[in-house]
Amino acid sequence: MAQINLENILSLIERFSSAGRTGSGGVRRLGLTTEEFDAQKILIDEIRQMGIEIGCDQFANIIATIPGKTPEAAGIAIICHLDTVVDGGHYDGALSAAAGLEILRIFLQDKLPLERNLHLVCFACGHSVRFGSGALGSRLWRGHIGDQELNRLHDAFGISAADALNEHRERLLAYGLKPINKKPQFTHVLEVHPEQGTTLESLDSPAGIVAQVAGVIRHKLTIHGHALHAGTTPMLFRHDALVGAAEIIIAVEQEVKSCSSAGWPVATVGRIHNFPNATNVISDRTELYLDIRDFVEGRRDMASERILSRCREIAGQRALPLDIELVALGQPVVCTENIANKMQEMALARGWDAPSLVSGAWHDSVVFAGWSKKAIIYIRTPGGEGLSIKEFCPPEDIEKGCQLLLDATEMLCGEILSGEISNKETSCPESSSGESSSGEAG
């Protein structure tokens, strides 16, 4: 079987890290920014050097394709994203991009059998940092969100996701990418990602296969106060939105701990906007973003109701009007069992064990639940570091995980077609909420 070149992958990861590198040694490539584009240009240049067809769709997703013997059949997609959090690590997103490029190179160099198309897709704006909602490119692809949602989402500077996406697509077109209007279909969606947890480390395993992904529910809480002078307003006459928000944040932790079983569900308030955010002014309005996750949908929803009820109680006691808006809803997802089993057999054949894992993190591949078979390979991250400059994957673990991705891709691309869905434009079923996946890559 074909062999991964580890040095190629490590070199590509390092090159991606040069785009948006911060003074601390991390990377900052927020979604739909010039920094994300700088990393995407590296990807585009590599693909062009291989002579592979490449373009972008209306949602600024980059699509590279090696045609198979039956180009009208649904293909195999290795997927990635190249945006990061504010001061992120070098591996999130970039690892799958580098692995995908290396696999494309090997398929061309070794002339591996291709019964169907092989795609590398780089989705736009995987993280929710900039707009409060992630996996934008993949969810737009699937029809989970549309123009209304893009116009509703704004960053800290008031720029809408719709305007940012249009500008980003123009950057890609100006760089010479051709527009792709016909969306390809995939039988399988594959990606490799840092685990950003400690399970693999505890099992002393270099990599594992995700079997199940937790469902996510996110709310935006807006607490309304009354902006008054901090020096002239007695404590008894204050309606301070930020103080109310602080009590709510503590209550979130208390409530989720009181209803947790075996560590689940989990709840986080990880984003705060305070207005006017001035030292000498009592807070007029504070926005919190509440994220709740669990593998059991009913237990997650019960925790959500309990937490929101407590938030309303705190706001009422402080006479602070409270607005609650559902911003994202993603159901728990079970990954495709047969491909996971085959990948575990492949790992054993190469002399190591790839255990089944559960994941609390969402990735772009999860958005394709019900549309394509999917597999996520996690690479060990010592100390569980993730989404920070401390994020690290040992090179020997990267080699094993990426080799497993290559082995799986080679197997799937070499399978003789037998009545599978055709590679034509099809309508995507909408969820009842209009957003079946909340999405935050990484």
Strand stretches in 299-424, DSSP E:
322-330, 333-334, 356-359, 373-379
Matching residue, tokens 């490449």 = 54
Which residues lie across from 292 on neighbouring strands? 217, 267
Which residues lie across from 21 on neighbouring strands? 27
108 contacts: CB under 8 Å, gap ≥ 6: 50, 51, 52, 66
What is the token pair recorded at 384?
């569980």
The residue type at 348: L
Which residues lie across from 269 on neighbouring strands? 290
> Which runs of consecutive H residues, i.e. helices, occur in 318-389?
337-349
Angle between helices 34-49 and 94-109 (to 10 degrees): 10
- Pairwise CA distance, residues 193 & 216, whole Å: 19
442 residues of the chain, pLDDT tens digit each = 799 999 999 999 999 999 999 999 999 999 999 999 999 999 999 999 999 999 999 999 999 999 999 999 999 999 999 999 999 999 999 999 999 999 999 999 999 999 999 999 999 999 999 998 889 999 999 999 999 999 999 998 999 999 999 999 999 999 999 999 998 999 999 999 999 999 999 999 999 999 999 999 999 999 999 999 999 999 999 999 999 999 999 999 999 999 888 889 999 999 999 999 999 999 999 999 999 999 999 999 999 999 999 999 999 999 999 999 998 888 899 998 899 999 999 999 999 999 999 999 989 999 998 889 999 999 999 999 998 999 999 999 999 999 999 999 999 999 866 544 444 433 333 232 333 445 554 4
348 contacts: CB under 8 Å, gap ≥ 6: 354
| Structural domains of the chain in order of their starting residue, each with its CATH number | 6-213+332-414 (3.40.630.10), 215-330 (3.30.70.360)
List the one residue out of 336, 405, 280, 419 whose CA is nearest residue 2.
Answer: 405
